[in-house]
Amino acid sequence: MGVVLLPQVSRRWLRHTIPLAIFALLLFYLCTRSLRALSGCGSGAQPCVTEGPPPSQIRQQLGSLEAPEREEPRCLGPEGMLGRLVRPFRASLNLEGDVELSQYLAGWRELIKFLTPFGSIFTFATSEAFSKVTALEARVHGPDAAHYTSLATMAAWERRAGLLERPGVAPPDSAKASGSRTTLLLHRALRWSQLCLQRVATGAHRGPSAGEQCSDAYSTVLGPHHPWLVRQAARLAFLSFPGRGRLLDLACPRTGEAEARAALARAAGTLEEVYNRTQGLLAERGLLQLA
């Protein structure tokens, strides 16, 4: 007996249906339980294992992709979106080995602007990050601002003032979480973003797609710490993830692929430097177990 084949679903229908399905799953989950914050690393005191090569190795691997006539891709210039993202993150790494919070948060705001057009999976992630950036900014510019100039200063003061949560115990109101805990959650979200951008920049033409690579980064970094429903929503979101060419065009408009890849790799390298510095500071102070 022959099998009747249903008409193929159009791509336009799929593009509209997948975001709706994601929204429905997340809405259901939020109605039953508060959505857990992004958490990319284990809650133990051990630092996360770096999954990608350090920035210097990335630059070496991308030597053939660098635009020979330019010392720096245009996208990293003063008017480029990547340039606006990278500068505050670089500025957050002070000479004393600390992380300046005001610059760190300024970098996060630019990262959120940069990631939002990439699709629904980043919209989900950046909406979580936005609330944490806003909460931490309230402390950086609030009445206790003198204690929130840097990560080390903040951690020391919150410990003395008894503001740190017990390890693994979430506060009843996330808006009133300690600055150290909020920074930890942003720190973990930064890792996923950095890995995804790095893999988009360095992925081979015949290798896994950008969506597959970023999905793998999610499964490795964040998935183990998310409830089943959130993982399913993320899996659906990655089905509509833009292709590598579209991502490179968003990152570095009106330029060649080699220059766009080089610019994105440099930006990812900066994010990794910030991540590694922050990871070390949090580990030294025993703060990786706060969430």
Check if the beta carbon of residue 47 is closer than 8 Å to that of residue 248.
Answer: no
pLDDT in the model for residue 78 = 83
- Do 232 and 165 touch, CB atoms closer than 8 A? no
Find the DSSP H helices in the chain.
11-32, 55-61, 81-92, 101-115, 120-140, 151-160, 179-202, 210-221, 228-239, 244-251, 257-284
Q: Are 184 and 168 in contact (CB under 8 A)?
A: no
Query: What is the structure's pLDDT at 279?
Result: 96
146 CB burial (10 A radius; 0-12, 13-18, 19+): exposed
pLDDT of residue 227: 80
Q: What does the pLDDT profile of the chain (291 residues) look like in tens digits?
A: 444 443 444 444 445 444 444 544 444 444 444 433 333 444 443 344 344 444 444 444 444 444 344 467 778 888 888 999 999 999 999 999 999 999 999 999 999 998 887 766 666 667 778 999 999 999 999 999 999 999 999 999 999 999 999 887 878 777 789 999 999 989 988 998 899 899 999 988 888 888 888 888 888 877 776 788 887 877 777 777 778 888 899 889 888 999 999 999 999 999 999 999 999 999 999 999 888
Q: Residue 205 burial (CB < 10 Å; 0-12/13-18/19+)?
A: exposed
Encoded tokens for 245: 């060419």
Q: Is the dihedral of CA 25, 290, 51, 187 positive or negative?
A: positive
| DSSP state letter for 254 | T
Choose the CATH number for 54-284 among 1.10.3520.10, 3.30.565.10, 3.40.50.1370, 1.25.40.10. 1.10.3520.10
pLDDT at site 228: 84
- Phi and psi at 150, nearest 5°, equal -145, 170
pLDDT recorded at residue 183:
96
By C-alpha distance, which of 190, 198, 264, 199 is closest to 221? 190
Helix (H) or strand (E) holding 286: none
The answer to whether 73 touches 260, Cβ cutoff 8 Å, is: yes
Q: Which residues pair with 150 in a beta bridge?
A: 100
Query: Nearest 10 degrees: CA dihedral of 202, 204, 209, 215?
Result: -40
Q: Which residue has the tokens 């100039």?
A: 149
Angle between helices 228-239 and 11-32 (to 10 degrees): 160
Structure tokens at 90: 């670089």
Those residues whose C-beta lies under 8 Å from the C-beta of residue 182, and which sit 6 or more positions away, are: 132, 135, 136
Q: What is the pLDDT of residue 120?
A: 62
C-beta of residue 81 within 8 angstroms of C-beta of residue 119: no
- C-alpha distances in angstroms, 83 versus 63, 253, 268? 20, 13, 12
CA distance 223 to 41: 10
8 A C-beta contact, residue 147 and residue 153 = yes
Nearest CA to 135 out of 87, 91, 186, 86 is that of 186
Question: How many C-beta atoms surround the C-beta of residue 50 within 10 A?
Answer: 13
CB 227 within 8 A of CB 46: no
Task: Kindly list the domain boundaries of the chain, sorted by start residue.
Answer: 54-284
Instruction: Read off the pLDDT of residues 21-39 as tens digits, 9 standing for 90 and up.
Output: 454 444 444 444 443 333 3
Answering whether pTM is above 0.85, one says no
